[in-house]
Amino acid sequence: MSKKVLLVGLDYYGPDIIDVEIETLGLCRPEIDEDRAAYALYEYDLIVINPQSYSHFIFGRPGEHSSSTSELSDLKKENNNYDLDTAFDYSDRSEEMKAALKDGCRIIWLLAEEKREQFFGYRKVWISYLHKTVEKLVSNNEVYSKKSRRVSITESGNKLAPYFEQVAKDGWRLCIDTPPGINKILAQTPESYDLGVEIELGENVGWLLTPPRSNDAVTALVKCGLELDEDDVIHHKYEGIFLSHTSDDKTFVRRLKNDLERHGVTKVWLDEAEIQIGDSLIKKIDEGLKMTKYIGVVLSPRSIKSKWVEKELDIAMNREIGSGEVVVLPLVMEECELPSFLEGKLYADFYSPEKYQDSLQKILRRLRK
């Protein structure tokens, strides 16, 4: 099933991406302009909104009035139906935005300078963000226009890093000074203004970024946006998991633990983190098994020979048989001969590097409450 990308006020000239449909359309009502109106926002997997002018977000691209200080008046003069309140239904589109976020759609808002026009009250291009939290963030904080190529990527491992690397090559023009500690900072300027923030939206997450200045940057932005998955957008709640393993496989297990926690699994039981000097190993492991609903058995040629893993697996299988529910999750990190009582169970395949992320998502889906 192909992914659908909506670019509002932004054109994509990069190479075709397999199984991805990219549209540049606006937020106007379909009855005003069928050809330039986006479909309902919840139909898309990734949405990027770039409100450099009113025409950018109403019709999807800049128009002949985009640089005018009286753009809204000029649009109305061109066609009475291009009146902002006639062409753009904020209420309906914002409800679509809520539904899109709830479905796991990735929403990226691009910074724009305040373009404010007295037109039946003050109107700002930021209304195109369709989310009050994001609108308030840009309205209540200073957006600076600068010229620089300096970028500090502050959040290690963030999936938008390749975009900021391209921004550093092209240079950037807009940044914002947001209060510390409220949102996750992804990239900053040398004076600690923000070039990218991850915004908490209740149970969801979205991103506010400095806009691209080249086709290469647009391509990087779209590709990075597609790398974001549902768990990057929705704050799911997860059951705990006990990772049964041998110490020889510790490097893999630490990576898996970190990735699970990064996606919001708050209880990942790992012996080196839970057992302190002087503790009883058997007692602490028994506590760990009782505190978590699932036991992830990390399987390798080494672990299947481990007496500790065998003991933990025996406890886990007894719990599964007694409860009648799935308890044991086989996690195969290297090809090995599976214990006979695990044969027939669907397992997460981690021994193929290209399948790591897919297997991680399978575990996360199983752990969801």
- What would the pLDDT profile of 130-189 be if each residue is shown by its tens digit? 999 999 999 999 999 999 999 999 876 689 999 999 999 999 999 999 988 788 899 999
Q: Which of 198, 233, 268 is the last residue of a domain?
A: 233
By mean pLDDT, which of 63-72, 268-277, 327-336, 343-352 is the weakest? Answer: 268-277
Q: Which of 215, 233, 251 is the last residue of a domain?
A: 233
The secondary structure of the chain in percent helix, strand, coil, rounded to multiples of 5, reads 40, 25, 40
Buried b / exposed e over 50-86, threshold 16 CB at 10 Å, is bbbbbbbbbbbbbbebbebeebbebbbeeeeebbbee
Distance CA 82, CA 334 (A): 61
Residue with tokens 């994509």: 12
pLDDT at residue 11 is higher than 70: yes
Residues 190 and 251 in one domain: no
> What pLDDT does 321 receive?
67
pLDDT at res. 43: 97
Determine the 3-state secondary structure of 356 from DSSP: helix
- pLDDT reported for residue 279: 36
Q: Domain holding 331: CATH number?
A: 3.40.50.10140
Which residues lie closer than 8 Å to 308 by C-beta, 6 or more apart? 244, 246, 285
For residue 111, count other CB atoms closer than 10 A to its CB.
25
**Mean pLDDT calculated for residue range 192-218:** 94
Total domains, the chain: 2
Q: Is pLDDT above 70 for 308?
A: no
Q: Backbone phi, then psi, for 354, in 5-degree steps?
A: -70, -15
Which of residues 174, 201, 233 is at a domain's end?
Answer: 233
Q: What are phi and psi of 148, to 5 degrees?
A: -155, 160
CA 326 to the chain's CA centroid: 29
Query: Are residues 246 and 361 both part of a single domain?
Result: yes
Rounded CA separation 314/310 (Å)? 6
Which has more confidence, 321 or 123? 123
Residues 131 and 209 in one domain: yes
Q: Which of 213, 204, 121 is nearest to 167 (CA)?
A: 213
For residue range 12-71, list pLDDT tens digits in order: 999 999 999 999 999 999 999 999 999 999 999 999 999 999 999 999 999 999 999 999
Instruction: Say yes or no to pLDDT of 218 above 70.
Output: yes
Verify that 31 and 137 share a domain, yes or no. yes
Given a contact cutoff of 8 angstroms between Cβ atoms, the answer to whether 297 and 330 are in contact is yes
The enclosing domain of 166 has a CATH number of 3.40.50
Residue type, 256: L
Q: Do 148 and 186 fall into the same domain?
A: yes
**Are β-strands 142-148 and 172-177 bridged in parallel, bridged antiparallel, or unpaired?**
antiparallel
User: 291 and 201 in one domain?
Assistant: no
What is the pTM assigned to this prediction? 0.70
Let me know whether 217 and 274 are in one domain. no
At 280 the pLDDT is: 38
Q: Are residues 124 and 54 part of one domain?
A: yes
Residue-number span of the structural domain to which 218 is assigned: 3-233
Same domain, 188 and 326: no
pLDDT of residue 275: 37
Same domain membership, residue 99 and residue 218: yes
What per-residue confidence (pLDDT) applies to 74? 95
CB environment 221-237: b (16+ within 10 A), e (fewer): bbbbbbebbbbbbbebe
Q: Specify whether 99 is located in the same domain as 213.
A: yes
147 and 26 within one domain: yes
Bridge pairing between strands 184-188 and 194-201: antiparallel
- Cα 180 to its chain centre, rounded Å, is 21
List, as one string, the DSSP characters of 69-120: TTHHHHHHHH-GGGSHHHH--HHHHHHHHHHHHHTT-EEEEEP----EEESS
